Amino acid sequence: MQQAMSTVEGKKQEKRRALLDAAYELFLERGTSKTSVEDITSRAKVGKGTFYLYFADKGSVTQALLARVSYQLLDNACAAAEQHAAELTSFPDQMIFVIDHIIEALRADTLMLRFLERSFVWPGLDQIEASGEAEPLMRKVLQTVMCSPEMAGRTEREIYQRITALGSMCISVCYTSVLEGKPDNIDNMKPILYDIIRRAL
């Protein structure tokens, strides 16, 4: 019985993943506005009714993908920071390393950057808002932040707000600098961004 339920749940997750993968491919190829639900289900090889079992509309798929892409970027950046932990002796150094890693990943994949636009989604925001519980990756990030001397005396909520604001600012600057060269190219903007981060922390 348990195994049967596990198999059913696994198939559900496969279908949801197939829909997300198909939507992401199409959004990168055509853009979100030029992709229909029918395009997504056709690419995923599922019926239109199946789509609505998992998502209310195209907007909810977009939000799920923004969350997935953001999570992967942050997870990869945190893993890289852990590999360089010996060199990153202060919290501002760690924060700047993580943001720089994300910016470089987006510079290397401008289609992903165009998809994200300025909408980086921090993992588990809804959970923190609703219950005070953090998603595992965000819990690890918050733990690192809260242990830093720069954040002493601040509540978890204040820290989350500060990190979110700084991260959102960096993603926005990355978008305009990499794709439009405004107000300058990203290499010239990085020192300014990182100086702002150090001052804000």
Q: Given pLDDT bands bounded at 50, 70 and 90, which one contains residue 141? A: confident
Average pLDDT over residues 45-53: 91
Question: Which DSSP state fits 87?
Answer: T
Least confident of 69-73, 101-105, 131-135: 131-135
Provide the b/e sequence for 147-172 (b: ≥16 CB within 10 Å). ebeebeeeeeeebbebbeebbebbbe
Confidence (pLDDT) at 36: 94
Average pLDDT over residues 108-114: 94
Say which residues have a Cβ less than 8 Å from residue 193's Cβ, sequence separation at least 6: 99, 169, 170, 173
Q: Given pLDDT bands bounded at 50, 70 and 90, which one contains residue 132? A: low
pTM of the model: 0.84
Confidence (pLDDT) at 200: 86
